[in-house]
Structure formats: structure tokens, C-alpha cells
Amino acid sequence: MRIIETRAELQAWSDGERAAGRRVALVPTMGALHAGHLALLAEARRRADRVVVSIFVNPTQFNEAADFDGYPRVLEGDLAACRAAGADVVWTPQTEELYPEDASTWVDVEELSLPLCGADRPGHFRGVTTVVTKLFLAARPDVALFGEKDFQQLAVIRRMNRDLGFGLEVVGHPTVREADGLALSSRNVHLGPLARSQALSISQSLGLAEARVAAGERDTAALLEAVHKKLAEATLAELDYAELRDPERLTLAGPQLEGPTLLAIALRFGPDPDGQGAPVRLIDNCVLQPGKRPS
């Protein structure tokens, strides 16, 4: 496995691989790798001849400095995981490599960036799309893989790829979960024991909605009422949103489900009453499929 730090070296490597007729895949990450990331890497291996994993904690997508400073950084463990999973290259750029001191160029997918996470985190998706553009230009992949847990991010990147004509394949991979249903996230380690238990209300709400739709429910207000009731059981949490939206345009669903519909949820957890844990924001989603049995 090769470790690369500079953009120029990565571009030269990728150009050589593609010139030799080999297909290159990119798995963008911010490190603190877990089984969800490794599932992306495994899927990348199935879809390409060479796999690049980028590890970069992107400062421009954080709204709070404390959140950026507290993001877990475990590079040696991440490199070991990438090596074991068969990555060909790990790109670990320094901040100044991607953001020179006088950098003033941004990429902004305006409409899709506004609802859901964008409503509470202004500028977040501008940071995401800007850094992903830089990753695409450096790695020059044929295919890039992202987790469906960050559904809005995936939708925004797909639109950016289409609008700017990168010409690469953007693949979404199904959310990887703990055995009890909690979506894997690098932030889960900050949950106290009680918050960790209450966080299951998120996946349980998704399952409840899937079951109601499979049983014939189509009324969006009734579905959201059931979801909100389940989420209210998480007494340590504050609801950011629980919304039904079109999975491609992210517009609000109508009064009746008429096709595949995204149910997206975000909760903020505080520490446990005994002080264990730290503030954590968790997101999750599913796409409700009228007429299809729940997963």
C-alpha cells in the first residue's frame, strides 16, 4: 500500500494507472474508519482495479471549531485498516495542500444544500462540495463511493457531478449498522450509555415507518406523527428534523406518498445525567417504498 501526501504525486499515479487501462476508485473519508468505511472500500474493490482512500478532516464543513477540534484522528489505526482491506493508495494531504493561504474558490450546489442538515448548518455543504471537487481533481477516479447514511450529501454530490460534468460514477452504498440497528458513525463513541440506548429510537422510527407503509399507510401526516412519537422516547435528545422528502430533489413530500420517499431524521444528544458522554448529532434515513415489504 502506498501513502501519498501531495496532489501532484496522486495525479501522476492515477494518470499512470488509467493510461495502463486500469479503473480507479476513490473512497473519500475523514478517517476514524469503521466497518461502514470498510464496506465502501470492499465495494470499491469490486468496481475498480485500483482503490484510493483519502483521509482528510475537512475544516470547511464544520460549523463549530470545537466540533472540528474534537473530531477523532487516529491515522495509524486508519492506515492499518486500509492496508488490511486492500487499499492501493491512501492519500493524506495537509490542510495547506487543499486550501492554500489565499484560497477563495468555492463550489456550491445551492438548492439541494438548503433543507435538512443545510438548514441548521449553513455553509456545511459548500465545504463538502468544495473539498470533494478537490478530491476528484486530485485522484481523477472513474468511480467514487459514498455512504447512504449521509443521504443529502450523496444527493448533493451526485448533482454536482452531473452539473460540472466530472463524468465519473458516483455510487451510494447502503448504511451499515450495529447489530441492534444503530447506524455506524465515527461520532457514536461520544455517546454515553443512556444516550446510546436512546439513540436506537432513530432506527426504530425508520422501521416503524417502513412497516406502516408496507401495511398500506400513505398519509404523510400520519406517518410523521408516528415517527415523532417514537423519537420522543429519546428524552436526552433534541429533534433537529424528521421529514419526508423526494429522494432526488429533496423537496417536501405531498400529503400522500406517491412513490419512493425519503424519511430523514436528525437528533442531537446531550451527555447522560451522570455526565458520561458528550454532545452528539446523529442522522439516519430510509427510502420508503410503497408496495414493498420492509427490510
Residues designated as active site: 37
Positive or negative, the CA dihedral 251, 252, 257, 260 is positive
Q: How many residues are recorded in the chain? A: 295
- Give every CB contact of residue 47 below 8 A, 6+ residues apart in sequence: 23, 25, 143, 145, 169, 171
Among 251, 249, 246, residue whose Cα is nearest residue 262: 246
**Gyration radius of the chain's alpha carbons:** 20
Residue 280's Cβ-count burial label (10 Å; 0-12, 13-18, 19+) is buried
- Give every CB contact of residue 56 below 8 A, 6+ residues apart in sequence: 28, 29, 30, 31, 91, 92, 93, 98, 131, 135
| 3-class secondary structure, 84 | helix
Task: Provide the b/e sequence for 53-70 (b: ≥16 CB within 10 Å).
Answer: bbbbbbebbbeeeeeeee
Among 233, 212, 235, 214, residue whose Cα is nearest residue 222: 212
7 in Cβ contact with 146 (< 8 Å):
no
Strands 169-173 and 143-147: parallel
- Give every CB contact of residue 233 below 8 A, 6+ residues apart in sequence: 198, 201
267 in Cβ contact with 281 (< 8 Å):
yes
